[in-house]
Amino acid sequence: MKLDRPFPYRLYLVMSEADCHGRDPLWVAEEAILGGVDIIQLREKGAAVEVFLKKAAQLKTVTDRYDVPLIINDDLKVAIRVGAFGMHVGQQDLPPSGVREAWSDCRLLGYSIERLEQLQSAEAALADYLGVSPIFRTATKTDTVSEWGIAGIRQLRGLTDKPLVAIGRMNRGNVAAVIQAGADCVAVVSVICAADDPRAAAADLKALINNAIAI
């Protein structure tokens, strides 16, 4: 798998087993991919390495089947051992410089920024894309200090050429505005993982994103 353009993804699913509310996360992931999800991040905060690794390996069988990149959230050992496509880290995690030093084969490295001053840091410069977190506060992400809003995305777009992934209470009512403000990609959790029909939910979001890009 290779990148034909700097960031060829529009709909990004962040998931954990808990996010799937008792349903098989592998089924949720496959349905989401069939609906239009371009890239998946596995986030299992607090899980033991071996537990995380087992879940990642199982999910990778699904993502590999559809040539969808698997990103591991904040666990370098799991990312390397499972042969993930890349890794995503936040402000309280191993910094991008540490990932680059330890894992030269990382093909896609994301870094969450929560404040404007973090944009011009040396760590942000080492990332392939920036997770703009959160756009709006959400129950699935409670350790952040602010919210960017649509105006924040627009401001960031004017200050950097790096791909911007918007996350934080993204839904069908606001994805178009986020894309039109300058985000390259929208990341979601519960709007797909908790949907009665994950495939339909993904297809709906993807259509809204594509329509916003076309405007």
- Selecting among 23, 77, 107, 141, the annotated active-site residue is 141
Cα–Cα distance measured from residue 38 to residue 15, given in angstroms and rounded to the nearest whole number: 13
- 3-state SS, 80-124, equals HHHCCCEEEECCCCCCHHHHHHHCCCCCEEEEEECCHHHCCCHHH
> Which residue is catalytic, options 16, 112, 133, 190?
112
Q: What is the CA angle 66-69-75, rounded to 5?
A: 135
- Tokens 């089924």 sit on residue: 27
Q: Is 10 a catalytic residue?
A: no
Active site residue 43: yes
Task: Measure the CA–CA gap between 199 and 131, rounded to whole angstroms.
Answer: 24
Of 43, 169, 199, 206, which residue is the catalytic one? 43
- Active-site residue, 141 included: yes
CA-to-CA dists, residue 27 to 22, 56, 58, angstroms: 11, 14, 11
| Residues taking part in catalysis | 43, 112, 141
